[in-house]
Amino acid sequence: SRLPCNPTGIHACVDGSDRHFTGRIVEVSRTGIQLQIDEAVPLGSVMTVELGGTVLTGAVRHCEFRDEHFTVGIQTSDVWYR
């Protein structure tokens, strides 16, 4: 099940590129997260997302323009803590 969350600021990047983003997490589930960022990200891209001392990686499963931002769904594959 998906859980809305208080918007939490994040820093994210697309692995293997120099594309970096700031945005926020807007939803969390057992298998993934949903971000709001200002740019589109290709489906299948692997992103690394940092929030506080937590780092997540995962594949982009959807990306759509909604409410002046891009909503990006990431299926997380790894989580670690700094």
Three-class secondary structure of residue 6 per DSSP: strand
Q: What is the pLDDT of residues 19-65, one digit of tens each?
A: 999 999 988 888 999 999 999 999 999 999 998 889 999 999 999 99
Distance (Å, whole) CA 28 – CA 56: 12
Three-class secondary structure of residue 7 per DSSP: strand
| Tokens 């997302």 found at | 49
The pair of three-digit structure tokens given for residue 66, joined into one six-digit string: 């909604």
pTM for this predicted structure = 0.87
| Residue 12 banded pLDDT, cuts 50, 70, 90 | very high
Distance (Å, whole) CA 60 – CA 14: 10
Distance (Å, whole) CA 39 – CA 63: 9
